[in-house]
Every structure is written in C-alpha cells, then in structure tokens.
Amino acid sequence: MPITEFLERNAKLYPDEIALVELNPHEKDRRRMTWKEFDLIQPQPDNPYRREITWKVFDEKANRFANLLISRGVGSGDKVAILMYNCLEWLPIYFGVLKTGAIAVPFNFRYSSDEILYCAELAEVDVMLFSTAFIGRIEAIADKLINHRLLIYVGDGCPSFAESYRELVADCSSRSPRLELHEEDDAAIYFSSGTTGFPKAILHTHRSLTQAAEMEAKHHETGRDDTFLCIPPLYHTGAKMHWMGSLVSGSRAVLLTGTEPKEILKAVSDERCTIVWLLVPWAQDILDAIERGDVKLEDYHLKQWRLMHIGAQPVPPSLIRRWKSYFPNHKYDTNYGLSESTGPGCVHLGMENIHKVGAIGVPGYRWECKIIDENGIPVEQGNVGELCVKGPGVMKCYYKNPEDSAAVLKDGWLLTGDMARQDEDGFIFLVDRKKDVIVSGGENIYPVQIEDFIRANNKVKDVAVIGMPDKRLGEITAAIIEIKEGMECTEEEIEKFCLDMPRYKRPKKIIFAEIPRNATGKIEKPVLRRKYGVENLVEAENMG
C-alpha cells in the first residue's frame, strides 16, 4: 500500500486528536522561523513557542498542497525538493507531494548554494520549496534554477524570484485529489552523506516507506498511547522513518527544535513523551549535565518515558551502562541502517536484548543479513567481512546512476560498505566502515574498537580515530579527543589509559580538539582527514 493511506486513515479515525506538536525553545532564533509566516497553524496563547496540529488538519494541509501542485501540472515522476528546518509544515508538505504521485526530495539544510544546485540537477528537481533561512542561498543560484517550474517560498516577505506558499495554497481544495497510487510507485529521493565525494541520489518507492513505517511500529511496539519525541532533522531518513511508527499507530509526536539537555528533558516532561530517539552526543550531554548537577531529574516528570533508542553510529557500551545507572527502568534499542535501506532498522538490537549492548543486533522485521568476504562468499561465523542486507526497504537504485547502483546491488542484496562480524548467538557487531579501516604495517585496525575503548575514560566527551600517512608503516592511528567541559587531560594520561589495549591498536598520535558531527550525529571523518591526514601526507612526501 502507498504510505499516504496511513495519513488518510488517521484523519478519518482520529480527526480531532493531536498528530504533531512543535516546540521551539529558541524563540529569539529568527533564522529558523517566525510564527506569523505560516497559514492555519497558530501558536497557543498560553505558550507562544508551542504549536500543534490534528490528524484532520494534517491531512487537509497535505491535500491543499497536493491540489496546488496538480494545478501546476506536477504529477507522476516529477520531483519536488524541500529545503526547510523542522516545523509543523514540513510533513504535510512532504505528504502533499506524495499524494500527487510525484517524488519528494528532502534537502540537507546544511547544503551550500553550490551543493543545493548540484543536488537539484542530480535529482532533476522540478519544484523547490524553501523557507526564510535559505533565501540567500537560493537567491545566489536563482538564475540557474529558473528553468524549474516553481520556486515556492514558505514564509513572510516573499522574494521576487519565488512564489508565496501561503498565497498559492489559500484557494486550493482541502479534499484529497484521490489519485490512484501503488506501492511500486517511486516516492522519494534521499541523498547519501557524500563521505566519498558528492552525494548520490537514492530512489525509494512507496513500498520502502511503508516497510520502514510498519517495521518501526513493530520494533518499538508503538501504540496509540505513545508520544514520540523527534529531534533530528526530517530531511534525513532516520528521523522521518522513526516518526512513521507514530503514523502507523495513529499516535502523537513532538518535534523539538532544541538539543540542550534541559530542553530535551523539559519536552519529555511537559509533553509526557514515552519514546525518545537520541544521537550519541545528545545522550552524552544529558549524562554529563546530570553528573555536573546542571539538571536534576527530580525536577521533571519522566515516569512515562519507557524507551530510549539510539542510531546513526556505533554506540559505546559504556554510554549505555551510564544511561541505565540513571534510568534503570528504560528499555533500550539501537538501530542500524543506511539511507539506501530506508534508514534505520534493517538491523536492530531489540528491546529484549540489552544484555548484548555493543552489538547492532539481528536482522530487522522482514530483513535478511549476511557477511561476505572480498569475493562475495559468506565468511565463517566470527570472522570479519562486509555486511549485506536484503528486504523490502532496499533502494530501487541510485537515480540515473546504473554503474554505482550495480556496484552495491547484487541479486537483491545491498552491500553496505560496513565491516561486521557475527557472534555465536547470531548477533551482528559493527567493526567499522570499509573505507575507514586503517592498515598499519600490514595489520587491519578498526577505529570503532579504539574509539569505544577511549570513550570509557571519564574525562573524554568524544573521540574519533583516523589513519595518518606514515612512510614506514603506511598508516598510523591518530586519536582526536574532545575533553569534557571543565576537565583537563594530557597525552600521558591517555597513553597510560590505552596500555590495556593491544600494542598495535594504541594510538600513535593524540590530538585534543573538537569532534565535528553532522546533523544526524555521525562523526565527519572526511573533515578530520582533510584537516589532519592530507596535511600530514604532504609533510611525509616532503620528508621523502
């Protein structure tokens, strides 16, 4: 079934129940939005930083936008880009695109003008929606985007090169366009992180989205009484697919635009959230704030909070042990996935398997997994190889890129590029990204293992391990370490702490610096390699 049927069902069954709540604790941050710039949804008088929307209004707004697009000739096969921060309008616009049979194309809000233009051309975008924060970036390339059918501005003071969203939808019908959609229809294009160059355009069908939604509801037992707190950006598959568990169950979700520990805990408390998806840095910040005394758990209503789950990167077991010491009644899950697998969940730990913390888990609902060697042959249990996944959420292809598609899609299997092993109980442990493996003196070294070890140091906030060029060994390990606020640490302390690791794994270089992470919480190792690795390569060549 197409994913839009869940929304239409909820609008009929629960028309007056709250579907989405938006919390914007940064009222002064006008780069994100101003309350007056949107139609139909007004802030509540007793809390000007909170807005909400019912399932009926959600569906009606999606219908209005769908009917607008149809009136402008947008339909099956066309692509509609969305460049906006999280807000109540984001998901209705997304579903409005899908209701036309067109393809929704969410854009990373960190893209520069050049990256926006590159991705728009790559995905052959026909319509671009953008909000206030992106006027400058779009204006810089407006003359090159002018061939697109529509540039739609969502906000006050519409620039001359675009048309106003509010004015366009004002007279559009709120009734469903009732176009016949099928699960095999193309639905969305998401962009890869671009860690090996420019992003790739990942094409998914309605079947992929429906699979992700049903899987999320099943994995986390999302019910009608749950309230899901969504913090990460909706342009990414992770946030949206986790939210889709609420779509399947017809339950409430909260969009929070802040990431500070007090903001997260207040949102959980005020909105009585039961399920919270955190990224590793946010979980770390909450624990650090508790330990510093900056927040007191007794100040918040948290008894209803039943599940904390994490994804987007390997999770150090030490972090979960700390978490459980403060939240002993929480269930826990970790989710593994890629944008090519419709985001998180093709492998997941499972709430009943907390004794296996450290593993990414077992195949998710309707998924299969295998681990292969460089010849495509499954490795023996316990050996390291490349993780492959197969299921209804695998991408259709890289859009108009048959060569790269063929490289990762083999007989229905998706080659993830992640190195993994499986233990005797069938649980999969992520070892590292294939491209991140460091080869030093002929020995394979997996940075994640070193990072997990160093994170156990109570002075360490974050760590990233990369390979640096070395004339003798080929590469050496370098640990970039971010120390917790208010603490001091020396290289000698870290070196002493690492003595319990095998000698070949111990970092040969230690750098104290901030760890860059992208909007979905992943360490930006390409940034670190450019900053440290390439510079050192030049030095090594000069020495030769």
What is the DSSP secondary-structure string of 243-269?
HHHHHHHT-EEEEE---SHHHHHHHHH
Cα angle 155-156-158, degrees, rounded to a multiple of 5: 85
Please, what's the b/e burial string for 292-321 (b: 16 or more CB within 10 A of its CB; e: otherwise)?
eeebeeeebebeebbbbbbbbbbbbebbbe
pLDDT at residue 192, as a whole number? 83
From CA 386, how far away is CA 370, in angstroms rounded?
Answer: 8
CA 129 to chain centre: 20
Tokens representing 95?
């579903």
Which amino acid appears at position 450 of this protein?
I
Q: Where are the alpha helices (DSSP H) in 2-122?
A: 4-13, 55-71, 90-99, 113-122
Q: Centre a 10 Å sphere on the Cβ of residue 60 and count the other Cβ atoms it contains.
A: 20
The 3-state DSSP class for residue 142 equals: helix
Q: Kindly report the three-state secondary structure assignment for every residue of 491-532.
A: HHHHHHHHHHCCHHHCCCEEEECCCCECCCCCECHHHHHHHH
CATH no. of 4-242: 3.40.50.12780
Q: Are 494 and 479 in contact (CB under 8 A)?
A: yes
Tokens representing 424?
């005797």
Q: Give pTM, 2 decimals.
A: 0.82
The 3-state DSSP class for residue 74 equals: coil
Superfamily of domain 437-543: ANL, C-terminal domain (3.30.300.30)
CA 347 to chain centre: 15
pLDDT at residue 539, as a whole number? 37
What own/partner pairs with CB < 8 Å and gap ≥ 24 does 489-496 have? Answer: 489/457, 489/459, 489/460, 493/459, 494/454, 494/457
In the chain (544 residues long), the average pLDDT of successive 10-residue segments reads: 96 98 71 39 62 96 97 95 95 98 94 90 95 94 80 92 94 94 97 67 97 96 97 89 96 94 96 93 90 94 95 76 94 92 92 90 96 94 94 96 94 92 93 73 74 88 86 79 90 91 85 82 78 50 32
Q: Where are the domains of the chain?
A: 4-242, 437-543
